[in-house]
Amino acid sequence: MSLDQLYQQIILDHSKARHGSGLAATDAPQGSSTGQSHQLNPVCGDEVTLRLAVQDGKVAQVAWDGAGCSISMASASVLTDLAEGMTIAELHEVIDSFREVLRSRGKVHADPELLGDAAAFEGVARYAARVKCAMISWVAAEDALNQAA
């Protein structure tokens, strides 16, 4: 299996089994500080509402609800798995790196050590119309993190 095929499989798997999805049915952890952000891409209709809970300087929970293409939903799922347990500074670093890769139009390669499964979205950078699809939940997470911190 090539790296591109592996990355495609990660995106397909996460678009079907959406980790962290179910915001409306999920309570934030007791004693946590939370932030919530709703983001909409009016061009394609992707929509995400994401809540991020911070406790003791770390991301305790990411919960979200959304509707959209497989890229946007998979990206939110991957973000959930990656963010939980990170410090605030670590998550900011990961968001900045993900943004840099996606805005590079394929010139900046993802660091799988830093981005984990989010490196699978590296190929999206070559398709300008899809960058917002992959970024929507990350923009929501950044906004929610700034509210919670």
Domains of the chain and CATH, by start: 3-148 (3.90.1010.10)
Sign, CA dihedral 65-71-77-80, equals: negative
Give me the pLDDT at residue 30, please: 94
pLDDT over 90 for what percent of the chain? 81
Residue 16 to residue 70: CA distance in whole angstroms: 8
pLDDT single digits (tens) 136-146 = 999 999 999 99
pLDDT for res 2: 62
Ramachandran area for residue 116 (φ above 0: left; ψ -120 to 50: alpha; else beta): left
Average pLDDT of the residues in 68-77: 95
More confident residue, 6 or 25: 25
Higher-pLDDT residue of 31, 149: 31
Which residue is listed with tokens 């900045």?
96
Output the CA angle 134-136-14, nearest 5 degrees.
Answer: 50
Burial of 149 (0-12, 13-18, 19+ CB in 10 A): middle
In 3D, which of 86, 65, 52, 76 has the Cα closest to residue 136? Answer: 76
Map residue 60 onto helix, strand or coil.
strand
Asked whether residue 57 carries a pLDDT value surpassing 90, the answer given is: yes
